A and B are shown apart, each in its own frame.
Chain A
Amino acid sequence: MTTPAVNVDTPAMELRALPVGRHALLVEVATGEDAQALHAELLRRRAAGALPPVREIVPAARTVLLDGLADPQALAADIAGWSVPPLAAAGGEPVVVPVRYDGADLAEVAELWGVAEEEVAGVHSGLEFRVAFCGFSPGFGYLTGLPKRLWVPRRATPRTTVPAGAVALAGPYTGVYPRSSPGGWQLIGRTDAVLWDTGRTPAALLSPGTRVRFEVVA
């Protein structure tokens, strides 16, 4: 049941497994979407018991890291023969994050987007996002889903303090700062949602693969 259906319309995903030390593999693919599809496939295989024991499966921008493998070479050889189905259209309801769109960089983002300042909220909350990977800080997700025309650069000078709950943009990503920290992303709003709470299960509101919508609140 773990054998993925072969989609004849999609060219096979190219997987490049690079050894990392003696117990890890970095599997590199061509695009961020491929990395998300590979990550989903790895989780499917692990759940089905079709993956050798692995301590960490860490998706990132164009790669998935498999760490804590007994025999990375054997898995690398196996992966070379895998056929990974494209990312399935997800079922179920996305996580909804309520946002006050009053960020310090709202005017600058509006200008880069070519819209009025008060239109940023409508554009951003009208999109659906997906957590591609986490990093930077516990529970900080890199959310994809912005069309390319809405990508904005990082700020030239990072802020020394960005407040917890800040909703921000950089490059292809949207993110929400789980805790107050330095940061170079453009701030468009703020949420009261708790992104990270180790007293809660799961601790992270947004983990890789989670679908996300933002909702305008006054």
Chain B
Amino acid sequence: MNALTVVRAGALTTVQDLGRPGHAHLGVGLSGALDRPAHLLANRLVGNPAECATLETTVNGVAVRPDRAVTVAVTGTPCPVRVDGRPVAWGAPVRVPAGAVLDVGAAVGGLRAYVAFGGGVAVEPVLGSRSRDLLSGLGPEPLADGAELPLGVPLGLSRGVDAAPWPAPPVDGLVLPVVLGPRDDWFTPDAPRALAAGAYRVSPASNRIGLRTEGPALVRAPSRDGELPSEGMVLGAVQVPPDGLPVVFLADHPTTGGYPVIGVVPGAALASAGQAVPGTPVRFVLVRA
């Protein structure tokens, strides 16, 4: 019947694709793979179009058993990959026989692995996307042991690669460019410098909604002590709640919010934010729009 059985769901494994654009005015966020380039690469390696759904794992991987032979590829964080206990390649197409167990092991250096299957994970789309949005609850439930996931029909042939260039996870430090605004005037004039000079670290409270930080608190301008009327929020927005600690909005962020956004991290820099383990040093670098 062309399905995967979940043998080991892992800490948090979700189905993800390119997300659910065009519904923010209804309170539905973008969602989708946090490390988008890794999702795209995994799909390319197995011959899938970009929009096929992959599995996004967190920290300790996932194990699944396909009931038909399928080509898979694991990208994102480096990690051990095994088929029926035998080590196979990471970052390359691998053939998994029918009934064999594909085990994606613990993340090495990063957080999230992406597992593509020829034909994609073919759960029913919701508003045009198969992504699980952890904030709004849309899309398929996170994987559970014993669950079954349908597989799509492979469209293309995986051509294989000699080498897939891939950046290492941000082990030494996460560098996040920030374009100031729209609410940088809600902070003291010194706040942008404090943000850029501050020694921040990735907080363990980070998730698919936002990368939370620990470090020096940013100070509100004395004239701006009230609440900001709710306004639209973008991916990468650096929102500053009353505790003064910046939160970088990731794929499952709320569509509106009432805390001021001091700046925005351009989308291309967010893939590495999705791979930064708690405790990783974070440096914000002010850039021009």
Contacts and interface: CB of A to CB of B under 8 A. Distances in A.
Interface of A: 18-24, 26, 55-65, 67-68, 73, 133-140, 142, 179, 198, 203-204, 207-208
Nearest to A17: B182
Nearest to A132: B230
B contact patch SS: loop
A217 B174 CA distance: 57
B138 A134 contact: no
B181 interface: yes
Interface in B123-175: 126-127, 136-138
B234 A133 contact: no
Contacts of A135: 27, 230, 254-256
B205 interface: no
A102 B35 CA distance: 47
B217 interface: no
Contacts of A19: 179, 181-182, 289
21 contacts: A21-B264, A26-B182, A55-B22, A56-B21, A56-B25, A60-B229, A61-B229, A61-B230, A62-B231, A63-B232, A65-B24, A67-B24, A67-B232, A133-B230, A135-B27, A135-B256, A137-B27, A138-B28, A179-B137, A198-B126, A204-B26
Given A62-B231, A65-B234, A136-B256, A22 B25 contact: no
A61 B179 CA distance: 24
A22 B288 CA distance: 9
B171 to A, nearest CB: 27
Contacts, number: 109
Given A60-B229, A203-B127, A208 B25 contact: yes
A46 B94 CA distance: 46
Contacts of B255: 58, 134-135
Contacts of A137: 27, 136
A57 B256 CA distance: 12
B21 A20 contact: no
Interface of B: 21-28, 126-127, 136-138, 179, 181-182, 229-234, 236-237, 254-256, 261, 263-267, 289
Nearest to B133: A138
B156 to A, nearest CB: 28
Contacts of B254: 135-136
Contacts of A61: 229-231
A139 B126 CA distance: 14
Given A56-B22, A57-B25, A63-B232, 9 more contacts: A19-B182, A20-B237, A21-B264, A24-B234, A26-B231, A62-B229, A65-B232, A68-B21, A142-B230
B107 to A, nearest CB: 29
A18 B181 contact: yes
A56 B264 CA distance: 17
Contact of B27 (A26, A64, A138): A138
Contact of A22 (B23, B28, B231, B289): B289
A136 B198 CA distance: 31
A20 B238 CA distance: 11
A100 to B, nearest CB: 25
B285 to A, nearest CB: 14
Shortest beta-carbon contacts, A-B, top 9: A65-B232, A21-B264, A61-B229, A135-B256, A58-B232, A18-B182, A56-B24, A134-B27, A60-B231
Contact of A138 (B138, B234, B264, B266): B138
Contacts of A65: 24, 231-234
A21 B229 contact: no
